[in-house]
Amino acid sequence: MIDRIDGAILKLLASDARAPVSQIAARVGLSQSACTRRIQALESSGHVSGYGARLGHRRLGFRITALVDITLGTQVEEDLAKFERAVAEIDGVVECALVSGRQDYRLKILARDLDDYERLHREHLGRLPGVVTINSSFVLRSVPTRGEADALFAASR
């Protein structure tokens, strides 16, 4: 279980992973060395699973975000694993989730434009193993929401 200080450190790292430890330490009321030890412990325990940059995909030319619901013919573990391995090889797929409900998987795909998405659909999605149905929806607008850390720690209050 993490305490209030660890929670504050996680929120600060989630909002700016490049913040200097000295700044994080000052914000949570710790010495720099104590803060460094806590960050290392959070990393070692898996509370921090990695660091990365949030990319401006539209600025990089990826103007289409598709949410793709896929239904498979079976839910046998070997078939699910085969499907998941195949999806992992497709450029543009940024998320793949096994979900409950009518569909089996939901993919989030970034594409440059509709022609690029159509190519991904034709060359990759339509050839995935075990696929019975594919339903694509296109994101018209992304609504800003809370960051992951804010949502996680608001739920634990």
Q: What is the pLDDT along the chain (157 residues), one digit of tens a residue?
A: 889 999 999 999 998 999 999 999 999 999 999 999 999 999 999 999 999 888 999 999 999 999 999 999 999 999 999 999 999 999 999 999 999 999 999 999 999 999 999 999 999 999 999 999 999 999 999 998 888 888 887 755 4
How far is it, in rounded angstroms, from Cα 8 to Cα 13?
9
**Contact predicate 104/72, CB 8 Å:** yes
Where are the alpha helices (H) located in the chain, listed in sequence order? Answer: 4-15, 21-28, 32-44, 77-88, 114-123, 148-155
Tokens of 79: 């078939």
How far is it, in rounded angstroms, from Cα 83 to Cα 104?
11
How far is it, in rounded angstroms, from Cα 50 to Cα 48?
6
| Predicted pLDDT at 155 | 55
How far is it, in rounded angstroms, from Cα 142 to Cα 145?
9
Return the SS3 of 138.
strand
| Predicted pLDDT at 144 | 85
| Predicted pLDDT at 151 | 82
Alpha-carbon 71 to chain mean position: 21
Tokens of 133: 């149905």
